[in-house]
Structure 1
Amino acid sequence: MGILDIEVWAKDSKKHQERLGTCKVDISALPLKQDNCLELPLDNCVGALLLLITLTPCAGVSISDLCVCPLADPSEREQIAQRYCWQNSLREMKDVGILQVKVLKAVDLLAADFPGKSDPFCLLELGNDRLQTHTIYKTLNPEWNKVFTFPIKDIHDVLEVTVFDEDGDKPPDFLGKVAIPLLSIRDGQPNCYVLKNKDLEQAFKGAIYLEMDLIYNPVKASIRTFTPREKRFVEDGRKLSKKILSRDVDRVKRITVAIWNTVQFLKSCFQWESTSRSAVAFVEADCLLYVTFLDNTGSCLW
């Protein structure tokens, strides 16, 4: 455990974001399994942040390379399997199991940057646990080869894997997403998943290769089914999309051109740049005024 960096942001109705201030918490100095109420002054800002922090040891969370994969070691795998065997079904009821995810690579991603490349990284979410790969720059076919382990609290949870394009200080661009129910995982089988859009309704561009292992205790998993699910604390905020912005700019340009052409046409009619066109336009205007007069008065003038 080390230093926890906290940023406070403000967002108005126009989706404009502004950072109000920052603060730090030395996690190593806090006692375990206790509610720690902290009032932290914000740097470069008037005000303070009131926090309630509870540190609970959580087994299984880690990030490593393929060469030091935890479940690849037979002795370590045996220890983990023993921890979740039938004989330990009534111990530490909240510790249901462990999930290991190998994030291997992605192929044929969407080009989010101007030169036709992207700077992709991968975000993994399981409940309130979030782990992230490093960024690989200027490629549409990144190879991360990282191993992530998560503690399982609910066997009915869904693993969400999202690929983003790093964009400096700006919010990252969305490159695709997959959602994998834990109960659908087949141990040790590399799988290729087609990336989908944010709503997981349509196929997006590209695919991601994952290999997953799941070890859990069936008795604990069954008991946890009848308890309330853990509240999700992560807010899914909509980020600015370069693709949508470009589409909206094109729409504005087309509307502006149409209005400009209409104004120029009307101007040419009044200036009699084309005698026949101006005559037809004024005749049509007179007919329209005459019909409107009849509709309003209900009579005909001869």
Structure 2
Amino acid sequence: MADIKVNPISNALGLLRVRVKRGINLAVRDVKTSDPYVILRLGKQKLKTRVIKKSLNPEWNEDLTLCVTDPNEPVKLYVYDHDTFSLDDKMGDAEFEIRPFLDAVNMRLEGLPNGTVITKVKPNRKNCIAEESCIVWNEGKVIQNMFLRLRNVECGEIELQLQWIDLPSSKAL
């Protein structure tokens, strides 16, 4: 009798590509600098950028792709300082809702001029957005650029860009 394999992607809504662009004014955790990296979590998924050595303003420009099954679950972000001989130091955390982005994707827009603003997400007490974030149409795709202010730390922001990837077999949003 053959084993039945459950495909976790079968109940996926699609893929969220998160480009971790850069860190801005991150906290010092090693004498005068830090060796930062970012961890993204969505549900049980956990993805990590590479470590940037000796930088408080690191540029990752790294794409991390999460499988979205629940549009109401926030993406959580953690920044750490890599240490060789001890536990890595926390450098702050943040989270953001993907619902406004998914609502824009779900509009199924076509043929708009590049740079058309679909909607805006304003900073408030419940989110970590540092400044107004625009969800825009660019080259046939819905894109959201955002700056997240890190919590539980003295300073620091992370710049991200979101992009949606439809799966051929995915459920509609």
User: Which TM class, normalised by the smaller chain length?
Assistant: 0.5 to 0.7
Residues 86-101 of structure 1 mapped to structure 2, 5 A cutoff: 92=10, 94-101=11-18
Specify every segment of 5 or more residues in structure 2 that has no aligned partner in the other structure, as ranges: 102-134, 136-141
Q: What is the TM-score with the length of structure 1 in the denominator?
A: 0.40
> For the residues of structure 2 that align with 1:211 and 1:192, how far apart are their CA atoms?
9
Residue 212 in structure 1 maps to residue 128 in structure 2: no
- The whole-number CA distance in structure 2 between the counterparts of 1:106 and 1:33 is 44
Q: 1:188 to 1:167 in 2, by over 3 A?
A: same
Structure 1 residue 173 corresponds to structure 2 residue 89: yes
Structure 1 residue 170 displacement after superposition:
2.1
Confirm or deny that 1:190 pairs with 2:148.
no
CA distance in 2, matches of 1:145, 1:32: 40
Structure with more contact order per residue of length (Cα contacts < 8 Å, sep ≥ 6): 2
Is residue 194–residue 204 contact of structure 1 (8 Å, CA) maintained in 2?
no
Residue 138 of structure 1 and its aligned partner are, at CA, apart by: 0.8
Aligned counterparts of 1:128 and 1:209: Cα–Cα separation in 2 = 23
**2:69 corresponds to which residue?**
153
Identity %: 27
Query: In the TM superposition, what is the alpha-carbon distance from 1:33 to its structure 2 partner?
Result: 4.5
For 2:85 and 2:172, the matched residues in 1 are separated by 43
1:58 to partner: Cα distance: 5.1
Per-residue deviation at 1:195?
1.1
Larger strand proportion of the pair: 2
Name the SS of the counterpart of 2:88 in structure 1.
strand
- Which has more helix, going by share of residues? 1
**3-state secondary structure, aligned to 2:150:** strand
The equivalent of 1:111 in structure 2 is 28
Aligned pairs, number: 131
Structure 1: tracts of 5 or more residues without a match: 1-30, 35-55, 60-91, 198-202, 222-302
Which residue number in structure 2 is paired with residue 16 of structure 1?
A: none
Deviation of 1:146 (Å):
0.4
Shift of 1:139: 1.0
How far is the alpha carbon of 1:131 from its aligned partner? 0.5
Cα RMSD (Å): 2.5
Q: Deviations over 1:37-57 (max 9, x none)?
A: xxxxxxxxxxxxxxxxxxx55
Aligned counterparts of 1:148 and 1:33: Cα–Cα separation in 2:
29
Equivalent residues of 2:12, 2:171 under 8 A apart: no
Measured in 1, the distance between the counterparts of 2:78 and 2:48 equals 10
CA deviations 1:65-117 (Å, max 9, x no partner) are: xxxxxxxxxxxxxxxxxxxxxxxxxxx4x121211100000011110012x10
> Using a 3 Å threshold, how does the CA distance of structure 1 residues 58 and 118 change in structure 2: closer, same or farther?
same
- Whole-Å separation in 1 of the counterparts to 2:68 and 2:52: 29
Partners of 1:33 and 1:164 in 2: how far apart? Answer: 39
